[in-house]
Structure 1
Amino acid sequence: MKKALIIILTCTAGRAFAQSAPGELKNLVQQSFSHFTQIKAMETQQRIAADQTTLAKTSRLPEVSGTANYSHVYPVPKVQLPGSDFTFQPVPSENINAGIEARQLLLDFGKSGSQIKKSEAQAGLLGVQTAEAREELAYQVANVYLNIAFLQDNIAVQDANIHLLEETETMVENKLKHGDAIDLDLINTRVKLESYRNKKVDFTNSLQKQLAALEYLTGEPLKDSVHSDFAWAIPPAEDFGHNAAIRTSLEKEKVAETGIGIAKAQYKPALFLNAGTGFKNGYLPEITTPKFNYYAGVSLSVPIYNGKKLRTQEHIAATEAEIAKLHTQDVKESLKKEAAQQHADLSAGLERLQTAEVLLQQANRALTLAQSRYKNGVITYLDLQNAQTSLLEAQLSKIQYQYQLSLAGLELMHLSGQEFWKQ
């Protein structure tokens, strides 16, 4: 009997020595980063974003192309000179042109620069979004880890109470043999024992589901049992400087701002250098003989009228930037609300846990007294059963409060953007 009580006390004892996140949890998080498909997909998108930035920069590089064409023209103009057999033909009927053409941007007053800035901002946004996805995954793994740890605690408590009730069953059977108990006492004991066993089956079923979820996230089955004897380092209130959602929202603001720059740059002219060289026929006096030729010059493109298209684009870009800023403000206010709620849960949970510890001590003492008095025939079986039920409720309540405190602490760490797997 004392051994069973020791097991119960061990399983439900307060966590006096707070520890950082266990190394096993950190390893599981790192495994999830290399396994989870969504993270792999976002990392691939990052490489595409880098290529898109490189592509945007190529607008400043020269474009060189080779051309070759042939055409037959009929009829062609011919002039018969009076009093002569000579026929003047200014255009050949067989036209040949082969050469190389080049085009180089000289000056566009920020057009290409705006496109490059937008590509870089989009690549930066994708990088932050990937980091946010990793963080979400890490805290998802931590949440499942906590579920497993506290389910194992519940199962351990249930096992200890089953063992305790089995000893009670033996004690009632002995008293029944000596006429100090009735059949109803034994039946009630066995009914409660089966109820405890069924509850253990429920806990075990939930545990198997959480183990399957952890394997889905990390790609590997859990090898060892986990422990809940650690506590999170709770951050101060409203410490959101490293929150992933805020960082993502700020990056979206940058992308929106680059959109305004692109829209404004469309009003500006662009200056190009054009050049080419090759062989071509059609030159007098030997119009059928291809000759070497070249050309070079500049061209200037100036927007004059576009039917309010550019002005509308600029207005849309400015509106999108305003929406991005409002979204950032909404994220900050939402985080502030969630943090306040979690701190309230944390404060209430600590008070509940203190009360639960007192109730657990009293329930243990009451059960010890009830067992002694029942053996001596001072109290009824119903009194003993009530003491056992009170102990189980106190044990499970304490585990539940500890679990709620851990969840609140974990969520506060998530809101502050702490990377516990790197600490």
Structure 2
Amino acid sequence: MVALAASALGACSMMPAYERPVAPVPASLPQTQQSAGPVSAQAGDSAAWADYFADERLRGVIALALDNNRDLRIAALNIERARAQYGIQRADLLPSIAVSGGQSAQRVPGDLNMSGESAISRQYSANLGFASYELDFFGRVRSLEEQALQVYLGTEEARRSAQVSLVAEVANAWLRLAADRERLALARSTLETRQQSVTLVRRSLELGAVSALDLNQAETLLQTARADAARYAALVAQDENALALLVGAAVPAGLQPPALDDSVAAVPVLPADLSSEVLVRRPDVAQAERALMAANASIGAARAAFFPRITLTASAGTASSTLDGLFDAGSGAWSFVPQIRIPIFEAGRLQASLDVAEIQRDINVAQYEKAIQSAFREVADALAERATLAEQLAARQALVQATQRSFELSEARYKGGVDSYLNLLDAQRSLYGAQLELIGTRLSDAVNRVALYKALGGGWR
């Protein structure tokens, strides 16, 4: 009955009505031209990454990371802790009922007793009741419960944010490994080709067909390729270590990329009039809003502190001077102790607490607006880069083709005795540099797709 009355009276709440702040960004995302296929991923869906990334090996690595990554485990445990804390706060809405039993014994000396003889008195009791249960007339307890709920939901958003970030980090590490392995393969192939060239030039020098300068120049290019091969071998090993750390376990060889695959991810086609409201579904933005809602609830608790607090303590049971008479007829006992606390003079403490709660709410509003602005910029930057990557790729591919033809012509002219060996070496150097730059541009293209996935919070549909 007490709990029912408290529920009815607790409808009076001092918590201000929550209103989502207006996003301080343009109403629509930037318009860009994209040439990728659509993605059916749902925003916030834990399986959205599986629909976004096309490479089966990459999906397998991401799945391993989601199972083994320690940071994600910590985020999940934080959720469990917040859920337990919310359960503690929610329990204050109902009285805590407990059974208690006890005995008290007292010896009174003779000079304090009317009979002049010492006496020992005992009392036994068994009770059922509750202590210090607050009747939530002004919604203080409910405001604190709402605050704990929003903190709990915010930790869930933090876990989602950690998952999106982990997926993006794993994808980027996997892509860097693929690109560095392709660079290593190119450096080793170039090293082998230049080793053959040095052998041929040395034989030509022995026959007197070329000068020692030609041999020195060929050896210069050979040592450059040798250094590059060693450097990329170290980078590949470091990439493997970084990927294993993110995954939280050794990555099977079958899931590691031999080279960079152009179809590693599918990019969603964003409509030209896509509203910026999709950004509020990003986990980090949703977490900032949950923090704002928790701060809003704390204002209700601070306001309710200005009003009287009524607490109840009640119990019912039996009491007797002897243990065997504890449950005899007429041994029933009960107590009912209502208390009211009315704040009169707090030296400004209550007003200061309310000011702190309101200022904290304003801080959370600013943090929420900053989260929206940061999300908008990340999406805009990814889309701006996306708009030029296709042209960059086409230009790099055309450059490789042009330098390849130039190398073939220089080689033919050198063998025909028309051109010097120096021009052939320059053509080799230009072709090698163009091939490395093409790999770098392809990596930038794939990394941009991952950045777009992360900026959109794992999807937008």
TM range (shorter): 0.7 to 0.9
Q: Does 1:111 align with 2:150?
A: no
CA shift, 1:149, in A, is: 0.9
1:312 to 352, 364, 377: 352
C-alpha distance after superposition, 1:306-364 (max 9, x if no partner): 50333322221121111111101011112222333333333344333222222111101
Q: Give the structure 2 partner of residue 244 of structure 1.
A: 283
Maintained 8 Å contact 2:55/2:265: no
Aligned to 1:221: 251
**1:197–1:17 distance in 2 versus 1, CA, 3 Å:** farther
Alignment pair present for 1:211 and 2:240? yes
Long gaps (5+) in structure 1: 1-15, 79-86, 283-288
Partner Cα distance (1:306, 1:401) in 2: 70
2:442 aligns with 402
1:254 aligned counterpart, secondary structure = helix
- The match for 2:107 is 72
- Residues 311 and 41 (structure 1 numbering): CA distance in 2 closer, same or farther, change over 3 Å? same
User: Is the 1:102–1:276 Cα contact (8 Å) retained in structure 2?
Assistant: yes
Change (3 A) 1:143 1:391: same
How far did 1:124 drift? 1.1
**If the length of structure 1 is used for normalisation, what is the TM-score?**
0.83
Query: Which position in structure 1 is the counterpart of 2:340?
Result: 301
**CA separation in 2, counterparts of 1:348 and 1:419?**
22
Instruction: Tell me which structure has the larger Cα radius of gyration.
Output: 1
Deviation string, structure 1 residues 184-224 (Cα, Å, up to 9, x no partner): 21222122112101111101101100101111121113413
Q: Name the residue aligned to 2:187.
A: 158
Equivalent residues in 2 for 1:8-19, closer than 5 Å: none
The equivalent of 1:370 in structure 2 is 410
Instruction: Measure the CA separation in 1 of the matches of 2:385 and 2:459.
Output: 22
Give me the whole-angstrom Cα distance separating, in 1, the residues matched to 2:393 and 2:414. Answer: 31
Determine if contact 2:295/2:364 at 8 Å carries over to the other structure.
Answer: yes
The residue identity in structure 2 corresponding to 1:58 is A
Unaligned runs of 5+ in 2: 1-34, 38-51, 323-327
2:212 paired residue number: 183
Q: Where does residue 419 of structure 2 map in the other structure?
A: 379
Map 1:270-285 → 2, pairs under 5 A: 270-272=310-312, 274-281=314-321
My pick for the range that moved more, 181-190 or 333-342, is: 333-342
* Match in the other structure for 1:351: 391
Alpha-carbon shift at residue 410 of structure 1 (Å) = 1.6
Task: Determine if contact 1:99/1:279 at 8 Å carries over to the other structure.
Answer: yes
Contact map agreement 1:50 1:123 (CA 8 A) in 2: yes
Percent identity (aligned)? 18
Question: TM-score if structure 2 supplies the norm length?
Answer: 0.76
1:4 alignment partner in structure 2: none
Give the direction of change, closer, same or farther, for the CA distance of 1:17–1:50 in structure 2 (3 Å limit).
Answer: closer
Corresponding residue of 1:94: 121
Could you list the per-position Cα deviations for residues 364-387 of structure 1 after superposition, in whole angstroms to 9, with x for gaps in the alignment? 101111111111111000010011
Contact 1:147 1:210 in 2 (8 A): yes
Structural mapping, 1:164-175, within 5 Å = 164-175=193-204
Any idea what SS the aligned residue of 2:228 has? helix
Cα distance in structure 2, aligned partners of 1:27 and 1:419: 19
- Alpha carbons 1:69, 1:96 under 8 Å: kept: yes
Q: Does 1:233 align with 2:258?
A: no
- Could you tell me whether the CA contact under 8 Å between 1:53 and 1:119 is conserved in 2? yes
Distance in 1 of aligned mates of 2:196 and 2:394: 30
Tell me how far 1:272 sits from its aligned partner: 2.3
What amino acid sits opposite 1:374 in the alignment?
Y
Q: Tell me whether 1:54 sits opposite 2:82 in the alignment.
A: no
The answer to whether 1:265 aligns with 2:304 is: yes
Describe the SS at the equivalent of 2:445: helix
- Given that 1:214 and 1:222 are in contact with CA atoms closer than 8 Å, whether structure 2 keeps it comes out as no
Q: Which 10-residue stretch deviates more, 33-42 or 121-130? A: 33-42
Structure 2 counterpart of 1:149, which letter? A
- Cα distance in 2, alignment partners of residues 76 and 418 from structure 1: 81
Residue 44 of structure 2 corresponds to which residue in structure 1? none
- Matched residue of 1:407: which SS? helix
Partner in structure 2 of residue 129 of structure 1: 158
| Amino acid in the other structure paired with 2:97 | E
C-alpha RMSD over aligned residues: 3.1
Assess if the C-alpha contact under 8 Å between 1:72 and 1:94 holds in 2. yes
Q: State the distance in 2 between where 1:126 and 1:175 align.
A: 72
What letter is aligned with 2:367?
H
Looking at structure 1, the residues matched to 408 and 180 of structure 2 have their Cα atoms a distance apart, in angstroms, of: 26
**Structure-2 separation of matches of 1:370 and 1:250:** 64
Q: For the residues of structure 1 that align with 2:349 and 2:106, how far apart are their CA atoms?
A: 40
Question: 3-state DSSP class of the match of 1:240?
Answer: helix
Matches within 5 A, 1:20-39: 20-39=53-72
Q: Give 1:93 deviation, angstroms.
A: 6.0
Contact map agreement 1:108 1:268 (CA 8 A) in 2: no
| Count of residue pairs brought into register by the alignment | 391
